[in-house]
A = this chain, B = another copy of it.
Amino acid sequence: VKTHLQTLSREAEATRAEANQEALTRLCESQPVLVDVARALDVVPGMTPTTILTSGPPLPVERYTGGQRRAILYGAVFEGLAQDLDDAERKLASGEITVSNCHGHGCVGSVAGIYTASMPVFVVENETYGNRGFCNFYEGESRRRLNYGAYDDEVRQGLLFIAETLAPVIREAVRRAGGIPLRPIMRRAITMGDELHSRNTAGTTLFMKELAPHLLELGIGGELDADAVRRSLAFMYESDYFFLRLSMAAAKATADAAHGIEGSSVVTAMTLSCAGFAIRVSGLGDAWFEGPPAVVEAKLFEGFTDEDIEWIGGESHITETVGLGGFCQAAAFALQAYQGGSPQAMAAMNEEMYEITVGEHTEFKIPFFGYRGTPVGIDLFRVLETGIAPVIDGGLAGRNGGQIGAGILKAPLECFERAAAAYVERA
């Protein structure tokens, strides 16, 4: 590492510092606003009727294996592109169905991160910088969900409810609201025990509070089927993680605004596929720097062991790249019940993140740290100098599909080493 840094000229170092400050500014100044809800096909750049998006860096189709591959095939079946898994395999091989990576299309995937053309997505616009981020919907409290690699008639019915009932209601409410600024909700949720990755209870409740007057108008006005409004409210009532997808879309719109700053060594995305972990860096273009899977300290649901964990993808850690999740754990001590650990360990891990980041968030502040801003802007060189890996709060998928627990992931240093080498070469 030191060797890498020593090879940078003084001038290059100054450029890097300046570029990283610019990345920090963009991360802090971004104003993500939920402006619409729409079909992926209608708004996601590059989406086609036969495209399936999944988590991870772009991979040749044969590198998708195990649960992530199954999730892609299930997506094809759900979308009506294939009759069954075998049919889907054939069409994948023939190129009739194409697979692409979420990040390449302005999206972020939760766990396997399956997007198909008909799925509704949140459209989040970064009002400061003009770019957009997308995320599809939380499927509900069942452990069996397509994004966790599970599929059956219940999963299918759930996805249809989201597309046909929930999304139109939320769309109408959002349009009536003239868009819903997400930053104030996120800032507030952090003072109410959320870190907005593995805990979104406050965010969801605050979002419902924003929607409530508009849902009421929809009920009074009678433009939409009253039962659809009722059922949508009931779904959100039960879904403490509902806001996660808004947090992810907001984080994507934010991180993308900080991407592409020449000379910046700030990480703008971290992603996970069945093939391993990968990161992207602001000043290093579209390249992804791969490594092995993350190391995890898991708290599993009863009946499961570490042997049952399978990596089927995940890029909700986009939240960590913008100063949330593991970088904001000391705001969310309630999380210990879900992902293990002690309040002391959570605070210590959170505090360590200040050592690998460029600055402190000017908007997202942690009450337990005396309202200190969250650590934000992961500098790949600081990671390598300190040997401190970014911590990530995450849900865990099982070998047989479905969620089997949660835990704290650490990003593998190999990704950062490769990125550093590329950085030095470019500089």
Contacts and interface: CB of A to CB of B under 8 A. Distances in A.
A349 B91 CA distance: 65
Interface in A326-357: 333-334, 336-337, 342-343
A395 to B, nearest CB: 19
Nearest to A347: B368
Contacts of A206: 205
Contacts of A188: 201
A201 B187 CA distance: 14
Contacts of A368: 333, 343, 368
Interface in A289-337: 333-334, 336-337
A157 B369 CA distance: 41
Interface stretch (A33-41, A44-52, A141-149, A225-233): A225-233
Interface in A212-236: 212-213, 215-217, 219-220, 222, 226, 229-230, 233-234
A255 to B, nearest CB: 26
Interface string A188-218: 1001110000000110011011001101110
Contacts of A208: 208-209, 212
Contacts of A209: 205, 208-209, 237
A342 B192 CA distance: 17
Contacts of A369: 343
Contacts of A220: 219-220, 222, 226, 229
A212 B193 contact: no
A60 interface: no
Given A217-B230, A333-B368, A334-B367, 12 more contacts: A188-B201, A192-B193, A192-B205, A205-B206, A212-B233, A213-B234, A216-B219, A216-B229, A219-B220, A220-B229, A342-B370, A343-B367
Interface of A: 188, 191-193, 201-202, 205-206, 208-209, 212-213, 215-217, 219-220, 222, 226, 229-230, 233-234, 237, 333-334, 336-337, 342-343, 367-371
12 contacts: A191-B193, A191-B201, A202-B205, A213-B230, A216-B219, A216-B230, A217-B230, A219-B219, A219-B220, A336-B370, A343-B367, A343-B370
